[in-house]
């Protein structure tokens, strides 16, 4: 699906005035009924992640961490069943899963008198039953299931969607009788970074010669394209320089 720059800017501007909640997603769909749900969700997620990156540092100062931890302790002391961490995250406009990570790390640091490893933190966020405090485990669980942009559940969904779109792309190539080399075949040959598919016989699309295709199950805004160029596409060019100059990426948001 293609959006004009004006349409995209209008959606992004609207998102700048709402909180990253499921209720806001419904408002977004009502505001832009002609756009698909998957397109709006992808833009919603990317714009929120940009916002979180801009404010990430201020939430991780020693003063901020201690303030959040003490507010958590005071909150659960008054009512352990209340969604203290979730409400705190919404109040300070921070992702619930990231707030849960901050408080969990602070809790473990106090309990073990040592800085916990990222592996341990990630494991407890994926499975809060491992957390040695039932109240905190419940608070962390509430944050992860109510976070629509960050956290282990979102990561699993993104991974599944990405795999689904790679499968759809493979099926499309087979339907068109296009000969290709898949990423797993390239890795077996020793390549480190590879596109999803290299076309053994290039094709022309809208006047461009296409040699390889990288599938991204997300919305392709300008900043995403620039990031992918730096992180992936130029390395593909260096590795597969014999495939000539046209680089092409397909970004899927829906079938």
Averaged pLDDT for residues 14-22: 76
Task: Tell whether 179 and 234 lie within a shared domain.
Answer: yes
pLDDT for the residue numbered 198: 87
Sign of the dihedral through C-alpha 157, 162, 164, 165 = positive
Strand order in the sheet with 208-213: 180-182, 197-205, 208-213
Do 164 and 230 lie in a common domain? yes
User: Alpha carbon 225 to chain centroid distance?
Assistant: 15
Task: Please indicate, yes or no, whether residues 245 and 173 belong to a single structural domain of this protein.
Answer: yes
Strand partners, 197: 182, 213
pLDDT of residue 20: 66
Same domain, 35 and 65: no
Count CB atoms within 10 A of the CB of residue 45: 19
CA distance 220 to 1: 10
**Concatenated DSSP letters of 231-252:** IIIHHHHHHTGGG-S----EE-
* Residue that is last in its domain, among 107, 123, 150: 150
Helices (H), the chain: 5-15, 22-31, 37-55, 62-78, 84-91, 96-112, 118-126, 134-145, 152-175, 183-188, 222-228, 234-239
Domain region containing 49 = 5-56
Same domain, 184 and 244: yes
Rounded to the nearest 5°, which phi and psi values hold at 20?
A: -80, 70
- Let me know: does 165 contact 215? Beta carbons within 8 Å: yes
CA distance 170 to 196: 9
Same domain, 176 and 223: yes
Tell me: do 223 and 200 sit in the same domain.
yes
Average pLDDT rounded to a whole number, residues 155-165: 88
pLDDT in tens, 67-120: 999 999 999 999 999 999 999 999 998 999 999 999 999 999 999 889 999 999
Mean pLDDT (the chain) is 85
Least confident window among 43-57, 120-134, 211-225: 211-225
d(CA 46, CA 52): 10
Could you read off the pLDDT of 199-246 as tens digits, one per residue?
A: 888 888 888 888 888 887 777 777 777 777 777 777 776 666 554 434
What is the mean predicted confidence (pLDDT) over 153-174? 90
Strand partners, 226: none
| Residue 24 burial (C-beta neighbours within 10 Å; 0-12, 13-18, 19+) | middle
Same structural domain, 241 and 161: yes
Bridge partners for 182 per DSSP = 197
238 shares its domain with 159: yes
Q: What is the pLDDT of residue 206?
A: 83
12 or 222, higher pLDDT: 12
Say how far apart CA 55 and CA 35 lie, in whole Å: 29
Rounded Cα–Cα distance for residues 21 and 125 (Å):
20
* Total number of domains constituting the chain: 3
Calpha distance 200→177 (Å, rounded): 11
* Whether residues 100 and 27 fall in one domain: no
pLDDT of residue 248: 44
My answer on whether 238 and 187 are in the same domain is yes
pLDDT of residue 240: 62
Q: At which of 150, 177, 210 does a domain end?
A: 150
- Give the percent of the chain with pLDDT over 70: 91
Residue ending a domain, among 105, 134, 150, is: 150
Confidence bin at 23 (pLDDT 50/70/90):
confident
Which conformational region is residue 254 in: left (phi greater than 0), alpha (psi within -120 to 50 degrees), or beta? beta
């Amino acid at each position: 699906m293609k959006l004009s720059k004006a349409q995209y800017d209008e959606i992004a501007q609207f998102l700048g005035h709402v909180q990253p909640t499921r209720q806001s997603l419904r408002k977004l769909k009502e505001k832009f009924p002609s756009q698909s749900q998957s397109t709006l969700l992808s833009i919603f997620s990317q714009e929120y992640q940009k916002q979180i990156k801009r404010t990430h540092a201020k939430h991780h100062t020693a003063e901020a961490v201690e303030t959040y931890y003490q507010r958590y302790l005071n909150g659960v002391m008054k009512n352990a069943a209340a969604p203290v961490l979730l409400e705190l995250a919404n109040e300070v406009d921070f992702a619930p899963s990231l707030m849960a990570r901050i408080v969990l790390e602070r809790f473990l640091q106090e309990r073990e008198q040592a800085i916990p490893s990222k592996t341990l933190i990630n494991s407890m966020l994926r499975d809060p039953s491992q957390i040695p405090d039932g109240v905190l485990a419940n608070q962390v669980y509430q944050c992860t299931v109510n976070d629509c942009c960050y956290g282990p559940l979102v990561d699993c969904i993104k991974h599944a969607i990405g795999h689904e779109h790679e499968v759809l792309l493979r099926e499309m190539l087979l339907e068109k009788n296009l000969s290709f080399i898949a990423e797993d075949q390239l890795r077996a040959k020793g390549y480190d970074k590879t596109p999803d598919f290299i076309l053994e016989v290039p094709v022309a699309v809208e006047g461009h010669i296409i040699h390889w295709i990288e599938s991204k199950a997300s919305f392709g805004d300008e900043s995403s394209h620039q990031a992918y160029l730096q992180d992936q596409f130029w390395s593909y060019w260096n590795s597969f320089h014999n495939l000539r100059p046209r680089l092409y990426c397909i970004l899927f948001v829906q079938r």
